[in-house]
Structure 1
Amino acid sequence: MSKPKIGIIVGSTRANRFADKPTEWISALARERTDIEVEIVDLRDYPMPFFEEATSPAWAPSKNEVAQRWQKKIDELDGFIITAAEYNHAPTGVLKNAIDYAATEWNRKPVSFVGYGGVGGARAVEQLRMIAIEMQMAPTKAAVHILWPDYLAVTQGKKLAEIDHLNQGAKAMLDDVAWWARVLKAAREADAVQAQAA
């Protein structure tokens, strides 16, 4: 079995977004590992319109070509880490829209979150965990929450890699994502073999 491929999804597309800093930091930590491969998946590269398909992608193919490209990318990945900004106690609209534009491609894969905002993005992450369960994903317990003092320190020049509690949280999260990605990838592959034999 090949190493699981983890997509780090950049969950904001705003100009001057903070998301690039946690994305670079968590991807650098993930690339130090030998048990997973990592790919950054930037929603800026998938400019999907507000969801307007006639039916859910769970029931019929999407007509939008960018959505089709997005679905193919999600299907290629074995697990996800999502950077989650919190706006008004919720995840970004562009992230929720991207989640809605795929369906079975998310199924039976782990997901975790690097949240940021007033309370470390905790309220956005809480909602994303519920959405992930509906998409038949396996959200991990461990996540990273970049609190407001951490955010301010970074805006004043400190690096996320220099903040001990964030590095500890990141290690726990990466351990969880890697374990679940390996186990669920093996199970999906076994299911595929069994389906072909039937």
Structure 2
Amino acid sequence: MVKIAVVVGSTRPGRRSRQVADWVMARATSRGGAEFEMLDLADYSLPLLDEPMPPSLGNYQHEHTKAWARAVSRFDGFIFVTAEYNHSVPGVLKNALDFLYAEWNNKAAGFVSYGSAGGVRAAENLRLIAGELQMADVRAQVALSFATDFENFTSFTPSQAAEDALEPLLDQLISWATALKSLRT
């Protein structure tokens, strides 16, 4: 069975990403078809990228990088839960992606984004980053608006449209993660 990480892509105080990631985890786990696990960037003390060698060489020097590499390498696919900050992804998520290379290769990626415009620009940025990291991003995505999916712009209350959008994302992600697994063996 493939293993999928739900990546909590913000560490900001008062972040909404954990609420959204908890919802994704609950729906994914009850659905089945893969093993799901939370990967919260707040649990990793990654400084700004401080490795002296490019990640593509895999010659990690720092223990925090090695721990992050061990965590990421266990998964076959990822659901990135991301806010949209200034038309892009939170810096902490970009930094976490930049720390590694081979650990991301030939794995599937899906996106659940949120913001005033549903976080779609952050998801588009993630698609470019995923391509460079040799990840296969699935077409289906969930775009959550503060106006329709967050009560008083703070408490996550997913709309029916959000609920409906998550299922095809999970279907596609599990299919792609399963197919790509053979490339890594």
| TM-score normalised by structure 1 residue count | 0.89
Residue in 2 that maps onto 1:137: 135
Runs of at least 4 residues off by over 3 Å: 154-158
Decide which structure has the larger Cα Rg and report it: 1
Structure 1 stretch 31-40 or stretch 102-111: which is displaced more? Answer: 31-40
Q: Distance in 2 between matches of 1:125 and 1:71?
A: 23
Q: Distance in 2 between matches of 1:96 and 1:10?
A: 12
Residue in 1 that maps onto 2:184: 188
Which structure 2 residues correspond to residues 30-69 of structure 1 after superposition, within 5 A? 30-69=28-67
Residue in 2 that maps onto 1:195: none
Q: Distance in 2 between matches of 1:156 and 1:91?
A: 19
Instruction: Quickly say closer, same or farther: Cα 1:175–1:69, change in 2 above 3 A.
Output: same
Which structure 2 residues correspond to residues 3-14 of structure 1 after superposition, within 5 A? 3-14=1-12
1:166 to 151, 162, 170: 162
2:103 to 105, 108, 131: 105
Q: RMSD in angstroms over aligned alpha carbons?
A: 1.4
Q: Alpha-carbon deviation of 1:159?
A: 2.6
Q: Alpha-carbon deviation of 1:153?
A: 2.5
- Contact kept, 8 Å, 1:9 with 1:43, in 2: the verdict is yes
Residue in 2 that maps onto 1:192: none
Instruction: Quickly say closer, same or farther: Cα 1:63–1:154, change in 2 above 3 A.
Output: farther
Residue in 2 that maps onto 1:177: 173
Instruction: Quickly say closer, same or farther: Cα 1:158–1:108, change in 2 above 3 A.
Output: closer
Q: Distance in 2 between matches of 1:65 and 1:135?
A: 22
- Contact kept, 8 Å, 2:150 with 2:157, in 1: the verdict is no
Between structures 1 and 2, the one with greater strand share = 2
Structure 1: runs of 5+ lacking an equivalent: 190-198
Structure 2: runs of 5+ lacking an equivalent: none
Q: Which amino acid aligns with 2:124?
A: E
Structure 1 stretch 67-76 or stretch 151-160: which is displaced more? Answer: 151-160
Residue in 2 that maps onto 1:83: 81
| TM-score normalised by structure 2 residue count | 0.95
Q: Distance in 2 between matches of 1:159 and 1:151?
A: 5
Q: Which amino acid aligns with 1:185?
A: K
Q: Which amino acid aligns with 1:105?
A: E
Output one character per residue of 1:70-90: Cα deviation in whole Å (capped at 9) or x when no partner. Answer: 111111100000111111101
| Corresponding residue SS for 2:31 | coil
